[in-house]
Amino acid sequence: MSRFLFVVPPLTGHVNPTASVGGELLARGHDVAWVGHPGTLAPLLPDGALVFPAIDDRLEAEIRAKRQRWLALRGMAVLKFFWEEFLIPLGHAMVPGTRFAVRGFQPDVVVADQQALAGPLVAKNAGLPWVTSASTSAELVNPLRTMPRVDAWVRGLLHGFAGGDIRFSDRLVLVYSSKALVTEEVGDEVAFVGPALTHRVERVGFPWERLTGGRRVLVSLGTLNGPAGERFLGQVLDAVADLDLQVVMVAPPRPAPPNVLVRPAVPQLALMPHLDAVVTHGGHNTVCEALAHGLPLVVAPIRDDQPTVAAQVVAAGAGVRLTYSRARAAEVRSALESVLDEPEYAAAAELVRESFSAAGGAGAAADLLEKVVAG
């Protein structure tokens, strides 16, 4: 049996795929551990999972505060802040804990999330093979290729941190999507394994008895959306007030029509089989979880990789895109009625679901990781 060490940032969407793949490896008898923020990891990992701390509560709170400031920025300031104030400092902060975990756990392979730069740096220095866990497919084809000066600046930051570009492993990049969504040409090291959903733990309660008959829609903008999120959610509430459907909205408590159930959090995977469509900001996890259940989407991307993910959904014919900062209730209503009433959207979502199923999910990822150990 082999030993696998997952290195992850304190971001739920980046931890979830590793929880699934790690769970599969554990089920096969391998030894598995995670490095990151224990408070973030504990609710998402199997009971008794081995966790090495690389981020304490103080630093995690600073990271959340930084990401809130990041949401208020526009244009190139977004990219500059992301790299200079978030990604590179996070990498430096996680190096000591990651180095300690490598020495103590002695993994055969390090599996590093693409935003956990400490993972490849420590693995490289220790002479260990490392694999990238790509929690979003948007960066597989360099989005900065049309901005060479910005691209050179990012590469310079990476060279200063690690002596080179360590965003993606040249041995194996696990991508939790399929060619049905990502149509660009990628390198041979890239493996599309589809969403990793098995072995996932959801410890959030839900009032299942409050689900009514008829059609149901989930509305979720992720954990960070800023003031514009409040405006968008308000427009959604106006849009659905008199529609013949039930809406589950993930948001802080607020006044809502009788057909809207507002919850601060939901067991999203468990809820998916009970839905007919999803309204989302375009987070890679939520989009792929919806499509893995054949659900069409209304996507209102905010920033980061979300516009790219939204474009993938639209190109696949599996959803409608809205402008997050300007969408009004009438547009939200029209988009929802389209994905619910026009069968081509559900049919396209079903084709993506089939491609995800064929890709193999956590089992396929575990197969590939075992091959890395075997050489």
Average pLDDT over residues 182-210: 94
d(CA 19, CA 253): 29
Q: What is 208-357's CATH superfamily?
A: Glycogen Phosphorylase B; (3.40.50.2000)
What order do you get walking across the sheet with 319-321 strand by strand? Answer: 260-263, 246-250, 216-220, 277-280, 297-299, 319-321
Confidence of residue 68 (pLDDT cuts 50, 70, 90): confident
Q: Looking at residue 210, what is its pLDDT?
A: 96
Please state the domain extents for the chain: 3-194+360-374, 208-357
Q: What is the CA radius of gyration of the chain?
A: 20
75: left (phi over 0), alpha (psi -120 to 50) or beta: left
If we measure between CA atoms, which residue out of 317, 338, 299, 319 comes closest to residue 220?
299
Which residue's entry shows tokens 């050179």?
A: 152
If we measure between CA atoms, which residue out of 102, 140, 141, 98 comes closest to residue 117?
98
pLDDT digits (tens, 9 = 90+) for 336-371: 999 999 999 999 999 999 999 999 999 999 999 999
What pTM did the predictor assign? 0.93
Is 208-357 in the same CATH topology as 3-194+360-374? Answer: yes
pLDDT digits (tens, 9 = 90+) for 109-163: 999 999 999 999 999 999 999 999 998 888 887 667 778 888 899 999 999 999 9
**Which fold, 3-194+360-374?**
Rossmann fold (3.40.50)
Q: Looking at residue 227, what is its pLDDT?
A: 59
Give yes or no for residue 225 having a pLDDT over 70: no
